[in-house]
């Protein structure tokens, strides 16, 4: 079947792994033809690395053969770039989050519906070997009936060099771009993939440190003070439509390093789902009757255990070819953003946020590969 042509807008840090995978791993279904960036030198560097063309946004939008636009721009540009692409008749894959907030995401959602186009979005780690293995175990009843869940992400932004050391990344503390939107989407997407949509949420948040200072003398912003605009610690109680209840906690003022936890508790066991920011495991299982034994690791049952960013783009291409719904369809990233923003709304109002959006869980992979082509439709 003829490959689906795609182009990237935004050739910054994250674009490299997308280009690598789309030109080497998923090239049987996607033909990446070019890239653009506000800083032309970035696009030129990436294009040379991966043997693609340097294009302008206008050239991408006006090329009738390009069917998919990958929106890998910074958060505040997600909405305008996605809208421009949809208006040009392109399907879109956008980096997390779908838009700066739920209201803008709803406008994107409605526009895509009117245009009859697909919008898909990151994170696509839920399509990786780890979380697909977890999904199979949940669906097969390995832990019995799911009754509770827990998701925790402790990541100390100020200690990460990529945020506060050699690079100016103040946006990580800007409104709409704090820990909740930067990392929370991975954890919430994992939970929704495993357990289905959230019905209502009760949230709390805090801003623990009112300012941060660049401490690296080599940084051009050395001594500059940053005032956070986004919540730094967010805690929420979740009620899923299925009846499962859950706890959710993310914080950006923890110690150096990262502590990820996603657990699903069932009537017959507990599933440990590894880091939802990764495509691999480990996936651990503790079954009823073996509580005194250490958790053992489950062999992964699917491919995509390496960094497979772009897998949702390949799945989108197959969806276009075969006339089916893509697995990362906008129902998922929109619902996730709705829930995340709902946590803050609940904290401010002191009441539950009744989540109006819903979705069907994305169809899981059957697994396996054939002749180098990932079998998304088997």
Regarding predicted confidence, which is higher, 310 or 291?
Answer: 310
What's the pLDDT at 167?
A: 45
Superfamily of the domain at 127-298:
Dihydrodipicolinate Reductase; domain 2 (3.30.360.10)
For residue 233, the cross-strand partners are: 206, 251
DSSP designation for 362:
P
Kindly state the average pLDDT of the residues 324-345: 97
The full set of domain ranges for the chain reads 4-125+308-329+358-374, 127-298
d(CA 141, CA 131): 15
* Residue among 233, 217, 235, 215 nearest 225 (CA): 215
pLDDT band at 341 (very low <50, low <70, confident <90, very high): very high
Least confident of 156-170, 284-298, 303-317, 326-340: 156-170
Q: Are residues 362 and 126 in contact, defined by beta-carbon separation less than 8 angstroms?
A: yes
Which of the four pLDDT bands, split at 50, 70 and 90, describes residue 373?
Answer: very low
Q: What is the mean pLDDT of residues 113-133?
A: 97
Residue 211, phi-psi category: left (phi > 0), alpha (psi -120 to 50), beta (remainder) = beta
| Token duo for residue 201 | 């949420």
pLDDT of residue 74: 86
Q: pLDDT tens digit string along 68-117?
A: 999 999 888 999 999 999 999 999 999 999 998 999 999 999 999 999 99
Q: Give the pLDDT confidence score for residue 166 in this predicted structure.
A: 44
Number of Cβ atoms within 10 Å of the Cβ of 62: 11
Q: Please calculate the CA angle 76-80-81 and round it to the nearest 5 degrees.
A: 100
pLDDT attached to residue 172? 60
* pLDDT band, very low/low/confident/very high, at 245 (cuts 50, 70, 90): very high
In this predicted structure, which of 45-49, 85-89, 374-378 has the lowest mean pLDDT? Answer: 374-378
Listing DSSP states for 259-320 in one string gives EEEEEEEETTEEEE---TTSSS--EEEEETT-TTSPPEEEPP-SS--S--TTHHHHHHHHHH
Please, what is the average pLDDT of the chain?
Answer: 89
Residue 279's alpha-carbon distances to 29, 115, 151, in angstroms, are 20, 32, 17
Q: What angle do CA 325, 117, 191 make, to 5 degrees?
A: 45
Are 127 and 304 in contact by the 8 Å Cβ rule? The answer is yes
How many Å apart are CA 377 and CA 323, to the nearest integer?
A: 11
Strand partners, 92: 69, 119
- Residue range 10-20: average pLDDT? 96
Per-residue confidence (pLDDT) for residue 224, from 0 to 100: 78
CA dihedral (42, 44, 50, 54) positive or negative: positive
* pLDDT band for position 156 (cuts 50, 70, 90): confident
Predicted pLDDT at 160: 57
Q: How sure is the predictor about 262, in pLDDT bands with cuts at 50, 70 and 90?
A: very high
Q: Which of 66, 354, 349 is nearest to 197 (CA)?
A: 354
Tokens standing for 297?
């690791």
Confidence band of 375 (pLDDT split at 50, 70, 90): low
Q: What is the pLDDT of residue 372?
A: 44
CATH number of 4-125+308-329+358-374: 3.40.50.720
DSSP per residue over 143-161, as a string?
T-SEEEEEEEEEE-GGG-H
pTM recorded for the entire structure: 0.92
What 3-state class would DSSP assign to 96? coil
Q: Residue 340 and residue 139: Cα distance in Å, rounded?
A: 25
Residues listed for the chain = 378
Question: What confidence tier does 239 reach under pLDDT thresholds 50, 70, 90?
Answer: very high
Q: If pLDDT is split at 50, 70 and 90, which confidence band does 321 have?
A: very high
pLDDT band at 34 (very low <50, low <70, confident <90, very high): very high
Q: Residue 155: beta bridge partners? A: 258
**Percent of the chain, pLDDT > 70?**
87
Which residue did the predictor score with more confidence, 335 or 162? 335
pLDDT above 90: percentage of residues in the chain: 73
pLDDT band at 370 (very low <50, low <70, confident <90, very high): very low
3-state SS assignment for residue 92: strand
Q: What is the pLDDT of residue 17?
A: 97
DSSP string, 166-217: SS--GGGGSTT-SHHHHTHHHHHHHHHHHH--EEEEEEEEE---S-EE---T
Kindly state the tokens that stand for 318: 């197959």
Unique residue bearing structure tokens 């909405």: 79
> What stretches of 39-145 adopt beta strand conformation (E)?
53-54, 66-71, 91-94, 119-121
């Amino acid at each position: 079947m003829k490959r689906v042509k795609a182009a990237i807008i935004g050739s910054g840090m994250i674009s490299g792994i997308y280009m690598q995978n789309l030109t080497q791993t998923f090239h049987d279904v996607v033909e990446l033809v070019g890239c653009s960036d506000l800083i032309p030198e970035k696009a030129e560097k990436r294009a040379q690395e991966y043997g693609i063309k340097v294009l302008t946004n206008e050239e991408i939008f006006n090329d009738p053969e390009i069917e998919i636009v990958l929106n890998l721009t910074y958060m505040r540009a997600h909405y305008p770039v996605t809208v421009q692409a949809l208006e040009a008749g392109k399907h879109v894959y956008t980096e997390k989050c779908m838009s700066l907030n739920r209201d803008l995401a709803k406008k994107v959602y409605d526009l895509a519906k009117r245009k009859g186009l697909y919008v898909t979005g990151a994170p696509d780690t839920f399509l990786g070997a780890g979380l697909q293995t977890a999904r199979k175990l949940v669906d097969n009843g390995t832990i019995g009936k799911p009754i509770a869940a827990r998701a925790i992400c402790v990541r100390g932004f100020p200690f990460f060099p990529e945020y506060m050391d050699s690079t100016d990344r103040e946006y990580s503390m800007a409104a709409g771009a704090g820990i909740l939107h930067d990392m929370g989407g991975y954890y919430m997407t994992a939970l929704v993939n495993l357990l289905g949509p959230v019905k209502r949420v009760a949230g709390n948040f805090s801003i623990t440190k009112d300012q941060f200072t660049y401490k690296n003398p080599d940084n051009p912003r050395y001594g500059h003070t940053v005032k956070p605009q986004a919540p730094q610690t967010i805690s929420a109680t979740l009620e899923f439509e299925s009846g499962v209840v859950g706890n959710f906690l993310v914080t950006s003022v923890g110690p150096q390093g990262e502590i990820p936890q996603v657990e699903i508790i069932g009537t017959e066991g507990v599933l440990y789902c590894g880091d939802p920011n990764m495509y691999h495991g480990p996936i651990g299982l503790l079954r009823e009757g073996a509580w005194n034994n250490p958790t053992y690791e489950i062999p992964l049952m699917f491919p995509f255990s390496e960094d497979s960013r772009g897998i949702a783009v390949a799945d989108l291409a197959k969806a276009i070819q075969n006339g089916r719904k893509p697995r990362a369809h906008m129902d998922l990233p929109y619902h996730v953003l709705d829930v995340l923003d709902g946590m803050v709304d609940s904290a401010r109002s002191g009441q539950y946020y009744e989540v109006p959006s819903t979705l069907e869980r994305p169809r899981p992979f059957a697994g396996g590969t054939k002749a180098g082509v990932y079998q998304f439709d088997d």
